[in-house]
Amino acid sequence: MIEIDNLHKKFGKNEVLKGIDLTIDSGGIFAVLGPNGSGKTTLIKSILGMVVPNDGIIKLNGASIKQSWEYRNDIDYLPQIANFPGNLTVKELIKMIKDLRSNKTADDERLIDLFKLQPFLDKKLNNLSGGTKQKVNLVLTFMFDSPLVILDEPTTGLDPISHIRLKELITAEKQKGKTILITSHIMSFVEEISDEIVFLLEGKIYFRGSIADLKTKTEQPDFEHAIASMLSSSYA
């Protein structure tokens, strides 16, 4: 599905990605983990084409994404911080995004219902709380049926019920055979849903494999400690 070869990215003098090689096959949930500033978001944005790499090739389904935009039709993306044009209403925003991807069928009714967003439809995005914005964000992401779903910190600001709904939603998408890429700080959430994790540290892939592999490698009984041990050993 995704092939990344020797990906480098610098912001000014700050080298964020230092040669990433990564292949992700179709189907399954992949968690991209790492401490702050390790390059998770940059990696994801590179796949989306929002960040232009200095070096390296990213291929999606065998085709390079460089200077092309049509491939984004196959990606649903949930940005980390839900920034929306403030003076649009929720309804207008959904309508606009649907209009931009008019070649796809959208499943917005079901999702609005799922997250109980009906009372907010005619409100301006400026006036919504962080959690509600995140729900709108989720609706926008999941309403299209794309084979690749990228979620950057999807749990931010969600109440417990919505959190459960989200997990159900992700599992359902996985059942359809989709590839799902997630970054998250909530370890329990990652452990619960991901099939495979990719651990980034200082712009490089430090570990790749299943959670069980990780536990074995670090000789730690639980996931959270395994991660912590990986961090401390690398800093030692």
Partner 1 sequence: MLKILKYSFFDLMRSRWSYVYFLFYLLLGIVLLFLNNDLSKAVITLMNVIIILVPLIGTIFGVMYYYNSKEFTELLLAQPVKRSSIFLGQYLGVALSLSMSLIIGLGLPFVFYGIFNSGAIWDFSLLLVTGAFLTLIFTALAFVIALANENKIKGFGYAILLWLFMAVIYDGIFLMSLVYFEEYPLDTFSLVATMLNPVDLSRVLILLKLDISALLGYTGAVFQKFFGTNFGFILSSLLLVIWVAVPTFFIQHMAKRKDF
Note whether 60 and 73 are within 8 A (CB): no
Q: How far is the CB of 28 from partner 1 (least distance, A)?
A: 22
Binding mask 5-24 for partner 1 (x = CB under 8 A): ------x-------------
The residue from 13, 14, 99, 119 that contacts partner 1 (CB under 8 A) is 99
Comparing CA positions, the residue from 169, 100, 95, 90 lying closest to residue 123 is 90
189 lines the binding site for partner 1 (CB under 8 A): no
Pairing of strands 28-33, 55-60: unpaired
CA distances from 12 to 44, 67, 73, 177 (A): 19, 22, 31, 39
Q: Which residue has the tokens 């301006």?
A: 124
Instruction: State which residue, 152 or 207, has the beta carbon closest to partner 1.
Output: 152
- What does the chain come to in residues? 236
Helix (H) or strand (E) holding 201: strand 196-201
CB of 140 to partner 1, least distance (A): 8
By DSSP bridging, strand 148-152 and strand 179-183 are: parallel
Query: Among 34, 39, 49, 203, which residue sits at the site for partner 1 (rule: CB under 8 A)?
Result: 49
Q: Does residue 63 bind partner 1 (CB under 8 A)?
A: no
Give every CB contact of residue 56 below 8 A, 6+ residues apart in sequence.
4, 5, 6, 7, 8, 19, 20
Nearer to partner 1, 45 or 135 (CB): 45
User: In angstroms, what is the C-alpha Rg of the chain?
Assistant: 18
Q: Which of 30, 71, 207, 223 binds partner 1 (CB under 8 A)?
A: 71
Shortest Å distance, C-beta 48 to partner 1: 5
What is the CA 211 to chain-centroid distance, rounded?
18
- Of the residues 48, 114, 201, 231, which one makes contact with partner 1 according to CB under 8 A: 48
Asked if residue 201 binds partner 1 (CB under 8 A), the reply is no
Q: Is 89 among the residues that bind partner 1 (CB under 8 A)? A: no
Question: Binding of partner 1 at residue 193 (CB under 8 A)?
Answer: no
46, amino acid identity: S
CB closer to partner 1, 54 vs 234: 54
Contacts with partner 1 by CB under 8 A lie at 11, 45, 48-52, 67, 69-73, 75, 77, 79, 83-88, 96-97, 99-101
